[in-house]
Amino acid sequence: MVGFITQRFGWFIVGYFALQVIIRLLTTHIAVLDESEQIMLTQYFSWGYNEQPPLYTWIQMGVFKLTGISIFGLSLLKNTLLCMSYLCVYNLGILFTEDKLKSSLGALSLFLLPQMVWDAQVDQTHTVFLTTATLISVYLFFYIVKKEATLWHFVLFGLISGVGLLAKYNFVLVLIALGFVALWLPQYRKKFYVRYLLLSASVAFCMVLPHFVWFITHLDVATHRTVERMNVGHTSNMMMNFAKGSGDLMLSFVAFLSPFWLIFLGFFRKNFTWYQSDEAKALLGYVGIIFIFLFVMVALSGTTHIKERWLQPYLVLVPLFLFLHISVSSTDTIIKRYSFVALIAPIIVALVVLIRPWLIDFRGKPTRASYPFEQLSTQIHEKIAVGTKTLIYAEDKYIGGNMKLFLPYADVITPSLPNQPYALTQTVVVLWETLQPVSFLQSLAEHYTCTDYKDTLHFQHSKKLTYTVNYKICSRNN
């Protein structure tokens, strides 16, 4: 089994993520939180949207042109990016060692990182994209310093650097770390710091410039929510903030790598031998430099809260780094047992994803994928005259995204996404779960007549739990 996977790792991982797309289509037709946001944002083009750079939205917009606004389009993009991440780790291992078994183990170990095997699968977008862009850029960096790179390799490095910066702003840490690694190792410095690097920088600059102009002219929109999340628990005491933030950073570091590091130690603690290669030094330096900068950022900004997923792009290479120090053989019983454990994890995840929707009454609470938005949209659609131009005002992006998913002919806006362009139409649907949008309804009062509705619907696969939603259907006065 181990030999079969290692010799055909590319086909194996492509097949696995194709299966994930199928499982998603079988389990739910509801968009989860980050996906709902993407559905909302892809209604229009902009050089920037909110606290995240716009490239993921632009690509999703292109995918929707091919697939229509659909769960298939959402799942296809995400799983393609995840598949590319695993393949990048594998190919980086091949570049380092030319050992398919060791490279496969480094990539398969990502299944033992819950953020990769679960969180990235069920509800992530930009972090997935950043992880893929990071791994491609790291691969190109090592290709440049190890092989006979040409001008086109530096052009490609510039392109992927631009992609990374337009994927998520903290990609800049990746470029800083790679730059310091190249300065640190003399043989890398000679290969990386050449005149072609100016071309890389120019390509990345030209790609990022239009969004950068948007960023500096919409600074509050682009930074407010990120700063708010990072400063949860913030106090007026700088030392207290640093202690809390740095402690949270270390806890997130350990939590992200669990349970992988425990399983790795359980199997390979006697086989670990420090491998003094340039690659191992470079990977260690890469992670170390990033964490030095993160500690500095915590100290300077007073950040008190670090989420595990924020570390994902930087720590996904730790398993490959550790396997550089292990002597492996396809006949080794330890390798077979470890591979079995690594492969059990995604099987369990796939089974949980398949059966979780049916356990809603047993769990006693719904998941994001259980909301009855399909039934709700059907009821709203039946109350709107055929062919009528419709604007939907939804309380939040989760409701709004799903309304757009099931009512694609309507324009959908929400107060939780800033600067959305819209025009009032013949019919306006105002939809909320908890907070009635009084000010928006007041703006309609003079020119529209509204009818109140309140629906109570069962969550998907539930006989006990119900979801109540309020809405008004407003028609323009003649």
Residue spans of the domains in the chain: they are: 2-355, 371-476
* Structure confidence at residue 353 (pLDDT): 86
Residue length of the chain: 478
- The pLDDT tens digits for 267-279 are 998 887 877 788 9
Nearest to 278 by CA among 179, 181, 176: 181
How confident is the prediction along the chain (478 residues), in pLDDT tens digits per residue?
566 677 789 999 999 999 999 999 998 899 999 999 999 999 999 999 999 999 999 999 999 999 999 999 999 999 999 999 999 999 999 999 998 999 999 999 999 999 999 999 888 899 999 999 999 999 999 999 999 899 999 999 999 999 999 999 999 999 999 999 999 999 999 999 999 999 999 999 999 999 999 999 988 887 766 666 655 555 566 777 778 888 888 999 999 999 999 999 999 988 878 777 889 999 999 999 999 998 888 877 777 778 888 899 999 999 999 999 888 775 588 888 999 999 999 999 889 888 888 889 998 889 888 999 999 999 999 999 888 899 999 999 999 999 999 999 999 999 989 889 999 999 999 999 999 999 999 999 999 999 999 999 999 999 999 999 999 999 999 7
CA 179/CA 184 separation, integer angstroms: 9
478: its two tokens? 């003649």
CA dihedral 321, 322, 326, 330 (to 10 degrees): -80
Taking the mean position of all CA atoms in its chain, how far away is CA 361? Answer: 29
Spatial CA neighbour of 34 closest among 329, 450, 344, 401: 401
Q: How far is CA 400 from CA 4, 33, 56, 307, 403, in A?
A: 46, 10, 19, 26, 5
Q: Which position has the token pair 């929109």?
A: 221
Cis amide bond preceding 259, omega within 30: yes
Residue type, 180: F
Asked if 71 contacts 25 with a C-beta cutoff of 8 angstroms, the reply is: yes
Query: Which residues are within 8 A (CB) of 201 and not within 5 positions of it... i.e. 6 or more apart?
Result: 158
The pTM for the full model equals: 0.93
Q: How far apart are CA 282 and CA 187, in angstroms?
A: 11
Question: Degrees (nearest 5) of the Cα angle 328, 332, 338?
Answer: 80
Residue 442, token pair as written in the block = 């007041």
CA dist., res. 149 & res. 348, Å (int): 42
Nearest-angstrom CA–CA distance, 108 and 345: 10
Q: What would the pLDDT profile of 464-476 be if each residue is shown by its tens digit?
A: 999 999 999 999 9
297-316 per-position pLDDT tens digit:
887 777 777 888 889 999 99
pLDDT at 277: 85
Q: b vs e for 417-452, b when ≥16 Cβ sit within 10 Å of the residue's Cβ? A: beebeeebbebbbbbbbeeebeeebeebeeebebee
Beta bridge partners of 455: 469
pLDDT of residue 385: 85
Res 224: pLDDT: 67
d(CA 455, CA 251): 44
User: What is the torsional sign of CA 5, 101, 344, 21?
Assistant: negative
